[in-house]
Structure 1
Amino acid sequence: MEHTLIPILRTVVSFMILILVTLAIGKHINSHKNHYSFALSVTIGSFIANMGFDTNLKFKEMLISFLVLILMFYLFMVLSSRSRSFRKWLSGRPTVLIEKGKLLDKNMKKVKFSIDDLNQHLREKEIFNIAEVEYAMLEVNGELSILKKVPFQNAIKKDFNLPISSESLPVELVMDGQIIEKNASGIYSREWIEAEFKRRNLHIEEIYYAVVNSGGYLFVDKYEDKLSSPTDVE
């Protein structure tokens, strides 16, 4: 029984530690925007696996090593946020592959980036003609950033002198038949919500989801969609 209980307890504790670390610095780790965050995510997985399953290793020593690793990452993160030179050394810098429509073959050789690699990344950006590209930069995380030549750039409202209205973030008001109290304030008060539903002959318990979208319009979805043959595909 003891041989079974120990791995279970180690796994539970290791998982809880992982959750706490993820809550603290998870956004920096998950983004994989630089070399050391990627290396840390791989190392954390190895640590947690050994802490949980390898009973030949002492849990206390593993935990101390794990906490030292997290502390080092945090210190590096603070230093990189305060020092640009340190950030460049630690995180690396993007590499220009196309400049003013010209391929920089020396830079491509430095980062071991072939023409096939470049064309694949361009296709993923829905660019099938390399002549459309003015600048292309290979970011530290391996993504390719593109600036198209002016004739090939997408038109925006400003180009047509169209009226531009400001938009705000969507405000979720009802989820799973219950009003989200923290959002039911200001102009979208509980009284306003109830009045809107009453005007539509709806009860809050009938609503699966209701949100005021970025354009200021109320979107409402009921539990009962009344579709004759809804698509049953996850």
Structure 2
Amino acid sequence: MNIWEYIYSPIIIFIASYILLRFAGKKAVSEMNSFDLLFIVVLGTIVSEPLVDKGIPSALSYGLVFTLVYILFSILTLNNKLRWLLITTPTVLVRNGDIDEKGLRKARITTDELLGTLREKGYATVKDIEMATMENMGKVSVIPKSYARPVQPSDLNLFPGAAFIPIPLVMNGQILMHNMKYLKLDEEWLKRELTRQNIAFDKLDDITLASYNAKGQLDIDTDNDEGHNHNPYMYKPGNTN
């Protein structure tokens, strides 16, 4: 084996593995159920095999076949009748403020682990929980009782408008022209907005983020921290103040 094989073999395996994972879809690399995890583990074993026995074609073909099988199973899980045969059902851990001991044994978690999970969700007592379930991805979802859930605007007869997602126009000193074009804005508008906030257009490099807000104006964050000295709201832990 010449030295070039040590270079191009890993590159080929890496690119092929990336393509197979992209082919498999986002679900395969997000929160995984048992079948998703099996796919990742086996695929990793298959594509790493050529580094040992130098059989790149056979490993890639096995990887492709296994990926196709994974995609087939993923499609089958979209069928409601087949889904529950292929994917485990959620396990109830708490129901109406009462711990389901059978559910804990089935999920193989202790009462202490359950309480820790509830604390992570912001709940100190089981009595505040309407239902807690372990989902098929292994995470615990919690539905609090009505009196323990966060207050909603509708509880106060308030009906706020639609949420507005700020649109970045300048990021790390660079103008995001695709967002400017989407909003039908030009550089002259940007210059006026920057001038209104006492920022020169030739100082774009000082801007970490400038976003278009619901009022049609810019919210600007710069890397200039002048004027922050001795401001209690700008305190930083440590000895660098």
Q: Which amino acid aligns with 1:149?
A: K
Following the alignment from structure 1 to structure 2, what is the Cα–Cα distance between the partners of residues 232 and 49? 45
Residue 174 of structure 2 is aligned to residue 174 of structure 1: no
| Letter of the structure 2 residue corresponding to residue 220 of structure 1 | I
Give the 3-state SS of the residue equivalent to 2:2 in structure 1.
helix
Q: For residue 97 of structure 1, report the CA deviation from its aligned partner.
A: 1.6
Tell me which moved more, 67-76 or 186-195: 186-195
Q: Using the TM superposition, name which of 88-97 and 61-70 deviates more.
A: 88-97
Given the alignment of the two structures, is residue 114 of structure 1 paired with residue 110 of structure 2, yes or no? yes
Q: Structure 1 residue 130: deviation in Å? A: 1.2
Contact (CA 8 Å) 1:167, 1:214: kept in 2 or not? no
Tell me how far 1:168 sits from its aligned partner: 2.5
C-alpha displacement at 1:228, in angstroms? 5.2
Structure-1 residue corresponding to 2:57: 60
Contact 2:193 2:217 (C-alpha < 8 Å) held by counterparts: no
Give distance in 2, aligned partners of 1:232 and 1:188. 42
Residues 1:165 and 2:164 are matched in the alignment: no
Q: Kindly tell me: are residues 216 and 50 of structure 1, through their superposed partners in 2, closer, same or farther at Cα, counting changes over 3 Å?
A: farther
Matches within 5 A, 1:59-208: 59-81=56-78, 83-187=79-183, 189-190=185-186, 191-202=188-199, 203=201, 205-206=204-205, 207-208=207-208
- State the AA in 1 paired with 2:58: E
| CA distance in structure 2 between the partners assigned to 1:186 and 1:59 by the alignment | 46
Distance (whole Å) between structure 1 residues aligned to residue 189 and residue 128 of structure 2:
51
Q: How many residues align?
A: 229
Q: TM-score, normalised by structure 2?
A: 0.83
Identity %: 26
Q: Once the 2 structures are TM-superposed, how far is the Cα of residue 28 of structure 1 from its aligned partner?
A: 0.8
* Structure 1 residue 136: Cα displacement: 0.9
Q: Deviations over 1:176-211 (max 9, x none)?
A: 322111111354512432321132232153423211
Q: Report what 2:30 is aligned to.
A: 31
Q: CA separation in 2, counterparts of 1:11 and 1:104?
A: 50
TM-score by length of 1: 0.85
5+ unaligned residues in a row in structure 2: which ranges?
none
- Quote the residue 1:7 is aligned against: 6
Give SS of 2:92's match.
strand
CA offset digits 1:126-167 (Å, max 9, x no partner)? 222111111111111111111111221111222122341212
- Supply the distance in 2 between the matched residues of 1:181 and 1:232 (Cα, whole angstroms): 37
How big is the shift at 1:26? 4.7
